[in-house]
Homo-oligomer: A and B are copies of this chain.
């Protein structure tokens, strides 16, 4: 990893064109070949960058970064270098994440009564030709219900569920099939579209559900 602090101007041409006037910035060159130009704000997002695979050519105050795959390019005009150091970091062992949506789906599968008393789970990840339905249930009346689980409910999710419902409803073993759109929060537009298509919306309290499920969080 190479860290360069320099007065520089930058021009990017590719999916869009962008220009950075002359100023002092950090140029971060990683071992993966990537180059990014940072100001002292915008959190971790650089002003300009080039993702690998790309090549960096340093030529008399003009650094050119050219993408290998596309015709994207980054031209950095260097006026003055204030700092330049390289460091061997080695390979990173990587990070361990514990996600949200997968966990949410699992919690709901274990607590389908969240949707109503008498509900039971038929299958998680119920397969269809266009992909698995998150949860397939039967409600208290025995009607089939396909549940789509999202962390944030947006229009795309309603579309996805609609496609599943159309397919599932063709199966005489399952038909008629209701739809439930479950998410921590549901955007008004998504709710509108869901209602328009006869799909129920359920907002889920993730923390409460986790509290119900996680013994370490139980009060008794």
Interface residues, chain A, with chain B CB atoms under 8 Å away: 1, 3, 5, 15-21, 23-26, 28, 30-32, 34, 36, 38-49, 51-52, 82-83, 85, 87-100, 129-131, 151, 155-156, 159, 163, 189, 192-193
Contacts and interface: CB of A to CB of B under 8 A. Distances in A.
Contacts of A98: 16-18
13 contacts: A1-B26, A1-B38, A19-B95, A23-B93, A25-B92, A26-B87, A34-B44, A40-B91, A44-B45, A48-B95, A155-B163, A159-B159, A163-B193
Nearest to A159: B159
Given A16-B99, A17-B98, A26 B89 contact: yes
Contacts of A31: 40-41
Contacts of A93: 20-21, 23
Given A15-B99, A19-B95, A92-B23, A32 B40 contact: yes
B193 A40 contact: no
A44 B36 contact: yes
Contacts of A24: 87-90
A23 B90 contact: yes
A156 B3 CA distance: 40
Nearest to A103: B16
Contact of A89 (B1, B28, B40, B92): B40
B46 A89 contact: no
> Which 10 A-B pairs give the minimum distances between C-beta atoms?
A39-B92, A16-B99, A31-B40, A34-B43, A32-B41, A36-B44, A40-B89, A43-B51, A21-B93, A24-B89
B130 A18 contact: no
Given A19-B96, A25-B92, A30-B41, 20 more contacts: A3-B3, A3-B26, A15-B99, A15-B151, A16-B98, A20-B92, A20-B94, A21-B93, A23-B93, A26-B28, A28-B44, A30-B38, A32-B40, A40-B92, A43-B49, A44-B44, A44-B45, A44-B51, A130-B192, A155-B163
B16 A47 contact: no
A198 to B, nearest CB: 15
